[in-house]
Structure 1
Amino acid sequence: MGRCIMREVKSFIEKRDGVEADENNIFLTNGATEGITFMLNLLIKDENDGIMIPIPQYPMYSALITKFEGTQVPYYLDESKGWGMSYKELERSYAEATDKGINVRSMVVINPGNPTGQVLTQEDLNRVIQFAHDKQIFLLADEVYQRNIYVDKEFCSVRKALSELGSPYNDDVELASFHSLSKGLHGECGLRGGFMELHNMNDFANAMMYKSKAVALCSNIIGQIGVGLMVNPPTEDTVSKEVFDLYQTQEQEIFNGLKYRANLITEKLNSIEGVTCNEVEGAMYAFPQIRLHQSYCDLAQQEGLSPDLKYCLEILAKTGIMIVPGSGFGQEEGTYHFRITNLVNSKTEMTKALDRIGEFTSEIMSVYK
């Protein structure tokens, strides 16, 4: 079973990226998280080993780095440029860590972004690859939202960007890429299935990784089947017209709903006093900034809370809406954010939720001036 699915994943990567893949470099996992956990455990020896992570970031990364007793090396995304990435910031982050004696082993790239919802361009990825090559660090590409893109941009995998940059990058930069059925367009969160592809790994290291992964036995069979369906969906040649039409209709309904709500979130949040939000280009989230008055921030400090946590707790208590404070993801010092998903269905309910957030925030802004 597993080998058949791995061949389907191989074909998927080759079709997506125009490269030649090797099924022996593909590992089926219980969601992307298992693969990421596996790689970070291998990369981190002790607190002297650093992993570069984007800020804001998905908190799983900081938690796992702490678990394995490594060191987080943050690089900041530029909110003023749509959560873009700059080579200068990567250099700053790396230099600051190495000056402290940290051995920077790896760098995480999340594309499309969680929690920021941006889609990195191929030019962005080229800068990342050139940086990784120059510093000889391992790349971890979290690409679980690659189907969730709502703007006029095409998803480009790090694997594809590597291939098109050519030598020496494609022959030298070590890469592990992750995809998942449990997130992304289908969002089967309770169905744990995903895959990890390795590129440019040393043969001995690859063999040791295979042995280490084999000890844990195979990923769950239902998840494997789900991954097979994700990378090799029904076509007119493989199923009846009725089944194919139903699949196409349901998938398009899911995508259209996500796209509509992404646009709605951007529009509604930017209409709220004190709130600004970059366009939600992809993934399932927005990460708006809220400019809370100093008196509100002072009160939060007196209560032993960060201002964004106080805001999120109060909005939960008064409206029943659960959002997540930006401090949980990391943010520039002196700024406050929150993460909101675009999963609320129907459109009417999403609109009502955003309106309640607006009403509550307007009240906060009028009281604390």
Structure 2
Amino acid sequence: MANVGTIKLGSQGLEVSAQGLGCMGMSAFYGAPKPEPDMIALIHHAVQSGVTFLDTSDVYGPHTNEILLGKALKGGVREKVELATKFGIRYADGKGEIHGDPAYVRAACEASLKRLDVDCIDLYYQHRIDTRVPIEVTVGELKKLVEEGKIKYIGLSEASASTIRRAHAVHPITAVQLEWSLWARDVEEEIVPACRELGIGIVAYSPLGRGFFSSGAKLVENLTQDDFRKYLPRFQPENLEHNKTIFERVNEMATKKGCTPSQLALAWVHHQGNDVCPIPGTTKIENLNQNIGALSIKLTAEEMAQLESFAAADAVKGDRYGSDITTWKDSETPPLSSWKAA
């Protein structure tokens, strides 16, 4: 199996495995939760294989994914991993609310520490930006948590370039998590350059297009009613019919290269730079092994350009999310001068 190796994430000293493991689908959003013993075995297999950067959030479940990881980290596993979790989204009456006020930040961190059963979280992200609270206020509280030893490094997820700059001025941001794949490339214009200018690492979630680059349009046929991908604009029949040609082209190229389409799509993300760590999620050991295999695929500049031509910005139909989910495009916060602490 390919040697996973490590990369430096950001400029504050965090080192993580060059590929991480997104744990969300084990417990939430992608259909029914998977059997706990199987998922613990998968996490242990990942760590033994060198995939030691584990990604979760308090909203996955909610809470159950963190509890699962807490169990998986027992017996000396905690010392071998870089543990990332997130706060900021809370479900009330079936609706997601976003919170970034200091009291919430602190309470969320304490609750995550308890569920994960750890003393310290390696990388703590704001999962979505609370547009009612100046980003300086939220990061100010995170900075206190760093000083208290409860978290080591601070991250943001789905934040705009200006939000990232303002946050970084309060306390160095170690990583920004964003959706980046062959068919989600809108971050390349402003956000990726801003991260690079500031020395912030980039964590790419859904690098396989939420499974699309594993099986193309067939993916949708096999989704259960409680899988939220079923409702994403890109997977709606009118868009899917168009989008499936992207998969077909990637698949054709993968066949020529002697790898799977998902390995090819993942290799493309790995080739974006040594400051980028993709975190493909899976619930199957064979898929995990296949994802690790993507690290040994070498792509020439011509092959990169060819792949990008299949999924040019105007080639993908449908948004990443429905209108009910905010992204970095809606992440501006009010100026600090407007904040009146409660």
TM range (shorter): 0.3 to 0.5
TM-score (norm 1): 0.33
- Higher Rg of the two aligned structures: 1
Higher relative contact order (CA 8 A, sep 6+): 2
